[in-house]
Chains A and B, each alone.
Chain A
Amino acid sequence: MEFTPKILALVCTYCTYTAADMAGSARMQYPATVRIVKYLCTGRIDILHILKAFEAGADAVMVSGCEAGSCHFLEGNLRARERVEYAQKLLEEAGLDGRLEMFEVAASDAPKWVAAVKEMTQRVEALGPSPLRRGKHLHPEVVEQLENMVQP
């Protein structure tokens, strides 16, 4: 059976989410491998959210926020980058390296979002499915929990 990656994208509502929305409106084509969870700011993303996503069976997690210097909350994206780097270290220790990446996509930059998804999908295809992915899908409860967490 062909392997379709399951990637969880934790994105900022001001930049990346708008870019992803624009990519949809402009009918840009990109792999249907991402499940987007919208945060008010990437600064809200906790390392535990990322680790839980992997526990639930995500093949990869991408965090995407504003470009440096343009965070709506001034430095949320910079904090997110620090957390992602720390989470990468924790994942490497656990034996899951290469499956977490941070991107910076401006609100007007839909092509960059498309490129980011394509890049991540290719990377996961090369790495193969996460060994923790016992079921076929992301555990729905985890996605639901994350979504509830970021609802206004």
Chain B
Amino acid sequence: MIIAERKPFAEIKAMVAPYKKILIVGCGTCVAVCLAGGEKEVGLLASQLRLALGLEDKRLEIGEITVERQCDMEFLRPLCDFTADYEAIISLACGAGVQFLKQLCSLQPIFPGVNTSFIGVNNDVGFYTERCRACNNCYLGVTGGICPVTMCPKGLLNGPCGGTIQGHCEVDPEKECAWSKIYHRLELEGSLDNMRRIMPLHPCDRSTTPGTVIHPAFKKRYGTNE
């Protein structure tokens, strides 16, 4: 899932300073799980803003709503009429959700309430780590389920490099050596032969931005130009 962190309160407060009526839109999927932008966080941010502005004797009317997914027009479209009453919008979704919401509400300024960090996993409540860089060319079948693009601090596709120090990386001893882990994982699997495979150059052209994926069924029905 996508991991995000809430922006510092002072930054959010400064963003909404010129407005009298704002809407905070939460997202009930990834950012809700990583405790950054779900329904609870919408309530906390709204309450915090009301308290902070109340102390300065300012009045700010705050609407609160959380949709299932802000990256999906099906869930966003019903917000269309609702948002017209507000001067500005804070979206607590990831960057994709913020952009999609702005596409729908083009008249009001929209502010991100979170910093989108990475695609990662939930190790424990509140502890998230990166696992995927969305490079559009997956090697996990060869590397024992450990992504060298993401997990190797040097991003090496053919490793190990010789800079492994007791399972950690020479560039940052805090970080584990992905290739050392890959070796041990492949050993357990009984597929150490994979270590001898030389991976071709990473097709960087496949990960130029912005990426587009069109499902064959969509293509058949609508052609390639949507």
Contact = CB atoms under 8 A, between A and B. Distances in A.
Consensus secondary structure, chain A interface: helix
Binding site of B, secondary structure by majority: helix, strand, loop or mixed?
helix
B54 A131 contact: yes
Given A55-B54, A131-B54, A131-B55, A94 B44 contact: no
Contacts of B43: 48
Interface residues of B, number: 14
A28 interface: no
A51 B51 CA distance: 8
A54 interface: yes
B48 A93 contact: yes
A93 B50 contact: no
Nearest to A89: B9
A90 B40 contact: no
Interface in A51-97: 51-52, 54-55, 90-91, 93-96
B47 A93 contact: no
A37 interface: no
Contacts of B49: 94
B10 interface: yes
B52 interface: yes
Number of chain A interface residues as a range? 10 to 19
B56 to A, nearest CB: 8
Interface string A95-110: 1100000000000000
A93 B9 contact: yes
Given A93-B10, A94-B9, A55 B44 contact: no
B76 to A, nearest CB: 25
Interface in B33-80: 40, 43-44, 47-52, 54-55, 57
Nearest to A46: B40
A99 to B, nearest CB: 11
Nearest to B51: A94
A143 interface: no
B195 to A, nearest CB: 45
A94 B52 contact: yes
Given A94-B48, A94-B52, 10 more contacts: A48-B43, A51-B47, A93-B48, A94-B49, A94-B51, A94-B55, A131-B55, A132-B51, A132-B54, A132-B55
29 contacts: A48-B43, A48-B47, A51-B44, A51-B48, A51-B51, A52-B47, A54-B51, A55-B47, A55-B50, A55-B51, A55-B54, A90-B9, A90-B44, A90-B48, A91-B51, A93-B9, A93-B10, A93-B48, A93-B52, A94-B9, A94-B48, A94-B51, A94-B55, A95-B52, A96-B51, A131-B55, A131-B57, A132-B51, A132-B54
